[in-house]
């Protein structure tokens, strides 16, 4: 039976300390008390030494360590302001980029897309981001040039980033493209063939309503339709009609 959790619900008693080493998405540890509580409404999941909440939500709640996509909306003092889908603004220091110094600041403009990591998040305060890791390396973070940005649900974003997801690997067999997925439900997509990018966009958007086990067949059918060929099902129906 699935356990549905509500925000603020104490989960400490349901998470055994002896065999749980990783506290995942949707669960927070309360300072001082070490209690574990739900941050969002969701279904409690436990697999091996990891536990988390499966959350179906379009509204993003920032968590420390999340990789997100943000849009530059302005600057103030030593910080850029970004929109990442949270009620509060997000900010990033001019120095939070690889190679940045007080004299060598990144030249970002309003509307630029940034791939960054949540460094700190506090209730009712701006979310602070960074584009470098603990050793000041970008590791793929920073300004994303060209391409276009679109929104998906946070649940689909997490699904695309899962090691079990097949979708992007299958698309990569037929198309050449660059993609970055943020846990805040934003996807950046870039490619040289406009028609192919539209096809990839549509396949990703509608994949949310397809079971993971059905993804290979779904992707094959959508690619065949995009190239003007009948789907596997249509071919089978035609063969049956000829037989009859």
Q: Quote the mean pLDDT of the chain.
A: 87
Q: Which residues contact 214 (CB under 8 A, 6 or more apart)?
A: none
Taking residue 177's Cβ as centre, other Cβ atoms within 10 Å add up to 17
Over residues 23-45, the mean pLDDT reads: 80
Cα–Cα distances in angstroms (integers) from residue 6 to residues 9, 46, 215, in the given order: 6, 17, 31
DSSP state of 48: T
Q: Where in the chain is the domain with CATH 2.40.50.140?
A: 66-144
pLDDT 10s digits, 144-163: 999 999 999 988 999 999 88
- Cα–Cα distance between 16 and 48 in angstroms, integer? 12
Query: Which of 56, 4, 71, 44 minimizes the C-alpha distance to 209?
Result: 56
Asked if the 148-227 domain carries CATH number 3.30.1370.10, the reply is yes
CB 170 within 8 A of CB 216: yes
Fold for 3-55, please state it: OB fold (Dihydrolipoamide Acetyltransferase, E2P) (2.40.50)
Taking residue 93's Cβ as centre, other Cβ atoms within 10 Å add up to 17
Asked if the 66-144 domain carries CATH number 2.40.50.140, the reply is yes
Cα atoms in the Cβ-side hemisphere of radius 13 Å centred on 121: 19
Give the Cα-Cα-Cα angle 186, 191, 194 (nearest 5 degrees).
100
pLDDT 10s digits, 169-221: 999 999 999 999 999 999 999 999 999 999 999 999 999 999 999 999 999 99
Q: pTM of the full predicted structure?
A: 0.81
DSSP bridge pairs for 47: 50
- Cα–Cα distance between 205 and 153 in angstroms, integer? 9
pLDDT 10s digits, 8-23: 888 887 777 766 667 7
């Amino acid at each position: 039976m699935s356990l549905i959790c509500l925000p603020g619900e104490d989960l400490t008693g349901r998470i055994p300390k002896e065999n749980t080493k990783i506290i995942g998405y949707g669960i927070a540890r309360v300072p001082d008390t070490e209690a574990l509580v739900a941050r969002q409404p969701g279904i409690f999941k436990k697999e091996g030494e990891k536990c988390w909440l499966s959350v179906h939500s379009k509204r993003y709640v920032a968590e420390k360590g999340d990789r997100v996509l943000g849009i530059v909306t302005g600057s103030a003092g030593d910080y850029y302001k970004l929109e990442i889908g949270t009620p509060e603004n997000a900010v990033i220091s001019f120095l939070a980029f690889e190679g940045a110094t007080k004299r060598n600041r990144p030249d970002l403009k309003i509307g630029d897309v940034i791939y960054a990591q949540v460094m700190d998040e506090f209730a009712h305060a701006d979310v602070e981001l960074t584009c470098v890791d603990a050793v000041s390396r970008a590791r793929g973070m920073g300004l994303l040039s060209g391409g276009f940005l679109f929104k998906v649900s946070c649940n689909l974003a997490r699904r695309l980033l899962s090691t079990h997801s097949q979708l992007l690997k299958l698309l990569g067999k037929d198309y050449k493209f660059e993609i970055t997925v943020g846990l805040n439900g934003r996807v950046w997509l870039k490619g040289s063939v406009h028609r192919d990018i539209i096809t990839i966009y549509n396949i990703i958007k509608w994949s949310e309503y397809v079971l993971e086990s059905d993804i290979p067949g779904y992707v094959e059918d959508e690619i065949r339709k995009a190239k003007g060929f009948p789907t596997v099902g249509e071919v089978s129906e035609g063969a049956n009609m000829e037989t009859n």
